[in-house]
Structure 1
């Protein structure tokens, strides 16, 4: 996610969330014939143009569905919120607390010390949602609360407060499909030393939630007792453990996996063998072994993991990509060479961490070029560094300093803002979002960077890339990779468009194209890639539907001004109903700094603050009205807006 400049405000928290909640348009009826869906087409909505619209989370989009019996039906979409992160719906020790409140190692809600009345922290940044397949007949949703933007005093709290996830048991109306939270629980991360900045996530093929830990703390800077990194990790440890002496950067930067049992109890493991970097999310391929990752930040890498056993990410081989540019058209293209970083088990890596290892135990460093040292540049340090691996520390380097080690072996660490990952299983394609194609992805004009593999055109609005998957691929050492889902190349698919100057609504990217793609989710049944924005280039961020066959792009949701569209998750079938989950976080952020003339900017900021609360809360919800993708709808629960058998 983009770390946006904070908007300070002394305004009080709004009492109500500005979300439209139209009547549901759910679809479910037992099939009366054998008709099947032939295609699904989204009809988009206009961008918001009034203050009222710019404050809402809403959709006016529709969807056309053509059935094999020749009928075409058009269904209206609507947005339905489940709860806000500030809503007291979670139960901890018999007490109702806000859904977005983090808990410490003992399971107690964490109090905001800047609050004058002992209030708990409440994250304004809900992110990933996974609606699990039914477990013993029940539906559960895992939700991330990524970070705390500001504390009660209005000061930045980003990365200082332990993060959290919640587990929501859903009530699903058997006739309409409407979802309501039956109960919400906080998930216990005490067995894995807490949770660090969980960004996006995914549902594994074996029905577990795969989370993330983004922007891993830099262990080299942590070694300096005067550094901001040291202070950050110690503050985090004080809040979580009640003891800053327990601060350890190597506790964080991995893939947490959450399993929910038939009794609705969640358990957590961290997969240390998947590598330590800025995990945006992990997406598992159909072989249940191969995993692709987003690595968020500037000067980051592309990583792939191949597990030893299907449905088990506790042991495997980690790879990093070397990008070999082949073109600049439509965003850009390049071949990918995969470098084997090594093999490990979770237990092996955890034992290394528990040994008390530090950065200086793994590498020698130099401030200037030196014989035997490798020059690299990667995200967590941000500038060129000269490193030499100490003898016998290959495994520690590969799995605790993954990006550094990858760069030392020749992999590319020049990607910028690599975000969401989605899978198109039928076509064997992976989609990866580059939210902001600039900086390290441009040609190095200084000639000072250690490598310049990527020399693509500057597109601040970003590019969503397609990776075609194949078997029989070899790594850089000539060894066959044990996977049928390896990407030998990538090319631009959906490209944003920067504007030379801001329009009347403060947009600096074309409002009718995706700007800064972040969350991605793909629907096999709808042949549609959904794209959620995290953009300062759009005053209102949107969710888009991109049909991979027709190449049509349609806007289907708008979130409040200044907010990011997060938690994107397309569920094709949950007991015969279909949903598109989407949240919003940090509403109102940066709106004051924008050049807006189409509406009264002061009134817009005031409306966001009064109706929602700037950087105070976030919303969790879903788009309904999508027809059942598994059952033919004959209109029993849906009045069709239109049935037109001609020309569709």
Structure 2
């Protein structure tokens, strides 16, 4: 399902769709849709292209519309065969996919000149291996957003989501998916690209809510809305740089059966790490 810093992934009740988070700085939000329910051996990998609320930089108000960019379809056997081709490399003479090859692969897929060379490159591969072996770079080359910061995992309550999916949104309670960003500074607050938040309190983190939807028979999401933002952040303090009355560096999340959200911290900005229970006003 792609090569990146997998933090936590979650399989949806359609047994086909998997949302995957990527832990790091300048990273990508991925989605995998299997060809067949209950069988993850082949399917299509997507990456999120987000559009921030126009003119809004306040992290407590700035939402993101999500467009899913298709990277490629792949099967385990084919991906394993592609990986094996690079086993010939050594530390002294490594064998790998180069940035130029990724650019050329993307140009061929998009039929666009991406590097300003004046022409569209020929595809250097007979398959879509960059999508699975260099997923971040491939996603960004195709136009996805590679600016997320410290993406710590994505979660649902499976029982609530399954009830919503099988009973129908009109009958079952709406289920939500949540994602923690331990921080939203640096690449999410650098005034460049798709994400341009006010990073004043960025070191304290944010938790986003995503409404589950049905799309062509699969579970999907098309928006990320801030559920709770950490802070304020006090840079002049020696301890408790993030307010002790709010979350700091949210990490592990769990949705309880009543929909409330457990938020576990992994922080150096609180003297003591805390587990919070969040009653989301959206419930």
Q: How many Å apart are 1:545 and its aligned residue?
A: 1.1
Which structure's CA Rg is the greater one? 1
User: CA distance change for structure 1 residues 322 and 550 in 2, over 3 Å: closer, same or farther?
Assistant: closer
2:25 paired with 1:298:
yes
Measure the CA separation in 1 of the matches of 2:264 and 2:184: 16
Measure the CA separation in 1 of the matches of 2:175 and 2:77: 32
User: Which residue number in structure 2 is paired with residue 537 of structure 1?
Assistant: 269
User: Which residue number in structure 1 is paired with residue 4 of structure 2?
Assistant: 277
User: Which residue number in structure 1 is paired with residue 184 of structure 2?
Assistant: 437
2:156 paired with 1:453:
no
CA contact (8 A) 1:322 1:338 kept: yes
Measure the CA separation in 1 of the matches of 2:97 and 2:48: 26
CA contact (8 A) 1:290 1:485 kept: yes
Post-superposition CA distance 1:335-393 (Å, at most 9, x none): 01100001111111111111226324684489xxxx95549xxxxxxxxxxxx785225
CA contact (8 A) 1:301 1:415 kept: yes
Measure the CA separation in 2 of the matches of 1:322 and 1:290: 18
What SS does the corresponding residue of 1:513 show, helix, strand or coil? coil
Q: How does 1:370-385 map to 2 (within 5 A)?
A: 372-374=113-115
Q: How does 1:288-327 map to 2 (within 5 A)?
A: 288-326=15-53, 327=56
For this pair of structures, how many residues does the alignment match?
A: 245
2:256 paired with 1:511:
no
CA contact (8 A) 2:46 2:69 kept: yes
Measure the CA separation in 1 of the matches of 2:217 and 2:122: 29
User: Which residue number in structure 1 is paired with residue 63 of structure 2?
Assistant: 333
User: CA distance change for structure 1 residues 313 and 510 in 2, over 3 Å: closer, same or farther?
Assistant: same
Post-superposition CA distance 1:249-305 (Å, at most 9, x none): xxxxxxxxxxxxxxxxxxxxxxxxx11111001111111111111101000001011
RMSD: 2.5
Measure the CA separation in 1 of the matches of 2:99 and 2:234: 47
Measure the CA separation in 2 of the matches of 1:433 and 1:374: 34
TM-score of the superposed pair, with normalisation by structure 2? 0.79
2:104 paired with 1:359:
no
User: Which residue number in structure 1 is paired with residue 142 of structure 2?
Assistant: 409
Q: How does 1:140-159 map to 2 (within 5 A)?
A: none
Measure the CA separation in 1 of the matches of 2:129 and 2:235: 48
Measure the CA separation in 1 of the matches of 2:248 and 2:127: 40
What SS does the corresponding residue of 1:352 show, helix, strand or coil? helix
User: Which residue number in structure 2 is paired with residue 462 of structure 1?
Assistant: 205
TM-score of the superposed pair, with normalisation by structure 1? 0.36
CA contact (8 A) 2:97 2:130 kept: no
What SS does the corresponding residue of 2:128 show, helix, strand or coil? helix
Measure the CA separation in 2 of the matches of 1:280 and 1:365: 24
| Greater percentage in helix | 2
Q: How many Å apart are 1:550 and its aligned residue?
A: 8.2
